[in-house]
Amino acid sequence: QQKPICLTRWRIKAMDGNTAICVEGKRKDMKDLSWHSNAVVERIAHNQVKTSSGNVYLLQGKIDATWMRKEG
């Protein structure tokens, strides 16, 4: 099991015509590279989700609410 991918300044994004969601944010281990996940299939903890590819994302800090409001 690989270690979780840590995202900061993260947000939830609809994908595949609103049939799935992914998470987007800045990867801490890659100098804050902008990153987005595959489709989220499971919520493991209040700040952890698992994607269809089997990766676990650790969502650090609060959701990027400003961006989410802009996107509706």
Q: Do residues 8 and 61 touch, judged by C-beta distance below 8 A? A: yes
What pTM was estimated for this model as a whole? 0.86
> Chunked in runs of 10, what are the mean pLDDT values of the chain (72 residues)?
90 91 96 96 96 97 82 68
Structure tokens at 26: 């800045």
In a domain, 18, yes or no: yes
Instruction: State residue 1's pLDDT score.
Output: 60
| Cβ neighbours around 59 below 10 Å, total | 22
In a domain, 69, yes or no: no
In a domain, 16, yes or no: yes
In a domain, 26, yes or no: yes
Apex 18 CA angle, 7 and 3, nearest 5: 25
Q: Do residues 66 and 9 touch, judged by C-beta distance below 8 A? A: no
- Could you list the residue range(s) of the whole structural domain that residue 11 is in? 5-59
Helix (H) or strand (E) holding 35: strand 33-36
Instruction: State residue 16's pLDDT score.
Output: 80
| Domain count within the chain | 1
